[in-house]
Structure 1
């Protein structure tokens, strides 16, 4: 097998589409995680309710000034049958009803006439509750009638702002729907207006469909209403009478968006008040959202913004690679500083986000101080929305400092898609770095981003990475610490051999686009590289995919997983490392048989008579470690979908020569441990399956200890053992 990577062979598919073609393909890809409307709607929740008393004409005026697309009206009905705009069924929260009518508890709207309600002050409460936004002119504002609200909005923007009207508690107010439709008819808004109707009440929406089938209707959902429901079945059912869904933001996940969009339903979550939350939901593909802060969302939609978080990676003692993605073509500006407030001198770097890389950028920052925490922030110019992160540089070569890292993989497969809990538990450990050990996506599995797998175009692969980046925990971990990302099979297609798989170039481009990978690793597409953490640890990253022979080929001296050049490089790294721990990141296990009979995917052959593993090549590695007496070699991987800790005694002298640490899955099918291949003398120290998990390691060079833990997705320790460092 040639030692050169064969990804650029003329016989292979090439990724050479123009930026325009790639952008068009991305726009047309099969993902449901994108809006099904032309423009994402800004819905002013109770008006500009962060700045003025909710459901007053002043709140509507400010919302219109802030470029909201819709102003929301919540309807209640008075004792004398008039529709008024008010959120609560009672008057005491947002008016002075208790003072004016002290003996009429509980101050229900239905118990008051319109004339009585008109005596109330609907503005002063806001000045008391929110003194930072108080205005003396708010005192004395009135509760508007539906007609007053319609006339005000129509006059203020001459029909450019739509009305988003909710029937609140319609079971309390018989005839509410008929009165609403009659009012809309009088103002010629049924056929000639921009009106959306909404309700938590299915009965009310069905009635509204009968009364005015022309108007769109949105079924609102609380978290309790969707608990334990199959959203696909639920949204198919409601599509008989609804044209959209309005879920609380807490339940927004890819499956909900997919279920809605596949049933032709728009998605307008509530109530979203920070730009971080807005960007998070925009990454899921919502069609609009309710917000108290219309100005923040309108500003976000008007300019480019960082759409899927930031990341840092491939950190050394003097450099790091920074990553970010914009939602459109723009210049992304990075600022880097030792000071989290960025008041100290900062380094600024700009990089153009363009279509041919799906608007992702990477910049390398050099000249950094060793063993130092750095802070960075990124924004897509001329936008002002900023995303921040941090990383810690490696100690200088020769120094020995304690080290904590986490590792894991298998994310987004077999129907398990965001959100993933494990990333939050990883971040809570404050690791020095995160080793993402492969299967960072499942490009060949069905998910909302690629409902018709396998991914067979670069935009499909991009969509998979974006889908996993909708996970808030993953974004948080990537922004909190640095990452060394490696690929395995599902970054392309199950059990692939890079030189022989036509999809390899597509998967490789997307992997390099979406992970902060240094030029040293990405040049020549080699992906293998070594990183030192002082003299505490040398991290030796292998590329187990790009050079491998077909899995079905018989094992023997000519069968390779690494290629001659990479194998010799590995020997050199092991022999000349003076670090306390030599950590070899391999994306496939040693003695756990993977793949299938007749086409093994890991090093092991497995069953007797099935000689299709890569044991001949690994024996060279094993013999090299033993013969050179290289101490404290640890192989770390995922891939198997269960956790296992194994030590090896290939010489049979009763002394462990190297160890293997296996974790996972973070979010994929959960497997169970099986029989180990005996070739290299494995001793199973721990094995457990059937749960989501990750690994954590602590190296204490001063006390010559190496501790490994397997933790479940909540952070609970299932296994812990400390090994002495020889």
Structure 2
């Protein structure tokens, strides 16, 4: 009897082992298929597929933004793209299902709960921040402030991630320089660009060539002057909060952008397409279920700000920059005809005049999301170069031109230019869109008296502030998307 029982148990044990092996052998392929359908491959580990941004760098502070996921990479691009018209530059995805789950869309990155912290060091001294949670309420993003930094210092850092159970660590590294003290004479090198729509990428693997070209110049910082994403363009159209957030995930998932931000800090301005839709006003209607309030929330999730969206930063003795806000404080579209219209609002205007007049920087640059000089298209009605805001535009151009060493750098326009205002002599540089496919809206043959340079194509603007025989100089260089020089202008104090 005992022998029979032993054989039965042996048989049952072998059969159980067979069933388990069979089941495991079938489950593994099923899990792989699950990932094919765009579901997160949740191994418990956390990754940084959106990289990070070092933002709002001053002489003593900075903020590091990041977002966590269980996925190492974004969803691959599976849709082809095509032009809407034979002679158009813009591309759009072909047969894109706007109603599919967002997690299945091209470039999608599903967020994950966890904790992040930073270890940073300069001259051998290491500082470790507290842990910051990434949670669904803020789209699994974190904003880590760095304080008590030293001016003009190089900082290298490691960004660490930890799941809620505290068992697994992963990390990415980067570096940045703080701004020099206002009394220090030091050269500054920066780049700026505008207008980037995900589907107008020019490199199927890396995204936008402009970012790789800018990286070769090793700028101290980068200014994006707005329209970083386009909520009101398909692929998907941001008709709800989830789709709007996806626009940021996909954009910041491009390899060229992530690698650029590993070494270059960024200041960001927003314009209409980053907030809701084209030419947005405070009284604009929603985009589907996506409201203006939603747009402000998503902007704040992705762009760290200490206080107001308008701010100024000093980079050494010879340069100060102003970053202004053009959407939150403007007059509603529907107001009485006799009522004065404003883009900036009184509070911002007073702040600007006060800080501008207090500055003793050799060169002063106003970074504006929209044109101040232009010229712009006659049908446009949303910036200081338009007739609708002529009164405030005349005030601003007059105020700026009364000061020495002042320049305007604007976003929003899909062409590169350098213009001089005929009435005041104020100089303005349009950086142009990130990609050639994003260019348009102006004819290359339509060169007006204000235009000193005009190029209807994509690229970026490089700006250098330096001294030659102790004589302060500033150089503005327009580049194409591959980094070739298109135009240069240099000025002395």
Measured against the shorter chain, the TM-score band is 0.7 to 0.9
Instruction: After superposition, give the CA deviation of every residue in 1:199-218 in whole Å (9 maximum; x if it has no partner).
Output: xxxxxxxxxxxxxxxx99x9
Match of 2:353 in 1: 571
User: Match for residue 664 of structure 1?
Assistant: 432
Contact 2:51 2:253 in 1 (8 A): no
Task: Report the counterpart of residue 385 of structure 1 in structure 2.
Answer: 170
- Given candidates 396, 420, 431, the residue that maps to 1:647 is 420
Partners of 2:307 and 2:117 in 1: how far apart? Answer: 23
**Do the aligned residues in 1 keep the contact of 2:466 with 2:472 (CA within 8 Å)?**
yes
Match of 1:405 among 187, 190, 195: 190
The gaps in structure 1 that reach 5 residues or longer are: 1-153, 163-192, 197-214, 219-243, 245-263, 268-284, 289-299, 522-526, 606-610
Looking at structure 1, the residues matched to 464 and 39 of structure 2 have their Cα atoms a distance apart, in angstroms, of 41
Mapped contact 1:589–1:602 kept (Cα < 8 A): yes
Quick check: 1:485 aligned with 2:253? Answer: no
Q: Larger RCO: Structure 1 or Structure 2 (Cα < 8 Å, ≥ 6 residues apart)?
A: 2
Deviations 1:290-323, CA, capped at 9 Å, x for gaps: xxxxxxxxxx832233331111110110000111
Question: Residue 713 and residue 319 in structure 1: after superposition, are their counterparts in 2 closer, same or farther (change >3 A)?
Answer: same
- Shift in Å, 1:695: 0.8
1:355 aligns with 2:112: no
Alignment of 1:58-73 (within 5 A): none
The CA distance in 2 between the partners of 1:365 and 1:331, in whole Å, is 17
Counterpart in the other structure of 1:697:
463
- The answer to whether residue 67 in structure 2 is matched with residue 325 in structure 1 is yes
Partner of 1:622: 397
Deviations 1:330-353 (A, max 9, x none): 1111111116xxx64223232111
Q: Comparing 394-403 with 466-475, which one deviates more in the overlay?
A: 394-403
TM-score by length of structure 2 reads 0.78
Counterpart position of 1:307: 49
Change (3 A) 1:369 1:376: same
In the TM superposition, 1:396-435 aligns within 5 A as 396-412=181-197, 415-416=200-201, 419-435=207-223
The CA distance in 2 between the partners of 1:308 and 1:413, in whole Å, is 14
When residues 575 and 457 of structure 1 are mapped into structure 2, their CA distance, relative to the original with a 3 A threshold, is same
Q: Counterpart of 1:374 in 2: which secondary structure?
A: strand
For residues 94-173 of structure 1, the aligned pairs below 5 Å read 158-159=21-22, 161-162=24-25
Tell me the matched-pair count: 419
How far 1:155 moved relative to its partner? 7.0
Pairing of 1:257-656 with structure 2 (within 5 A): 266=36, 301-327=43-69, 328-338=112-122, 344-381=125-162, 382=166, 383-412=168-197, 415-416=200-201, 419-447=207-235, 450=236, 453=237, 455-491=238-274, 492-498=276-282, 500=284, 502=286, 503-515=291-303, 517-521=304-308, 527-551=309-333, 558-592=340-374, 597=379, 600-605=381-386, 611=387, 613-626=388-401, 629-651=402-424, 656=425
Structure 1 Cα separation of the partners of residues 336 and 217 of structure 2: 44
Structure 1 residue 669, shift from structure 2 partner: 2.4
SS of 2:450's partner is strand
Q: Does 2:477 align with 1:709?
A: yes
Summarize the Cα distance change of 1:374–1:551 in structure 2 as closer, same or farther, 3 Å threshold.
Answer: same
Counterpart CA distance in 2 for 1:399 and 1:160 is: 69
Match of 1:720 in 2: 488
- Matched residues in 2 for 1:499 and 1:568: separation? 24
Deviations 1:571-624 (A, max 9, x none): 122222111111111001124365772x5122223xxxxx4x211101111222
State the alpha-carbon separation in 2 of the partners of residues 409 and 645 from structure 1. 15
Deviation at 1:638, TM superposition (A): 2.0
8 Å Cα contact 2:49-2:253 kept in structure 1: no
Q: Secondary structure at the match of 2:170?
A: coil
Say if 1:302 and 1:683 are closer, same or farther in 2 by CA, change over 3 A: same
Q: Distance in 1 between matches of 2:430 and 2:338?
A: 26
* C-alpha RMSD of the superposition: 3.0
Q: Check conservation: 1:557, 1:616, Cα contact below 8 A.
A: no
For the Cα contact (< 8 Å) 1:407–1:694, is it kept in 2?
A: yes
Residues in 1 aligned to 2:472 and 2:234: alpha-carbon distance in whole angstroms = 46
For 1:510, what is the secondary structure of its paired residue?
A: helix
Matches within 5 A, 1:243-254: none
Larger C-alpha radius of gyration, 1 or 2?
Answer: 1
Distance (whole Å) between structure 2 residues aligned to residue 309 and residue 157 of structure 1: 40
Query: 1:174-189 residue pairs with structure 2 within 5 A?
Result: none
Deviation at 1:683, TM superposition (A): 2.8
SS at match of 1:362: strand
CA distance, structure 2, for counterparts of residue 556 and residue 423 of structure 1: 45
List runs of 5+ in structure 2 lacking aligned partners: 1-16, 70-111
Query: Aligned with 1:600: secondary structure?
Result: coil
- The 1-side partners of 2:333 and 2:427 are apart by 25
Distance (whole Å) between structure 2 residues aligned to residue 539 and residue 325 of structure 1: 28
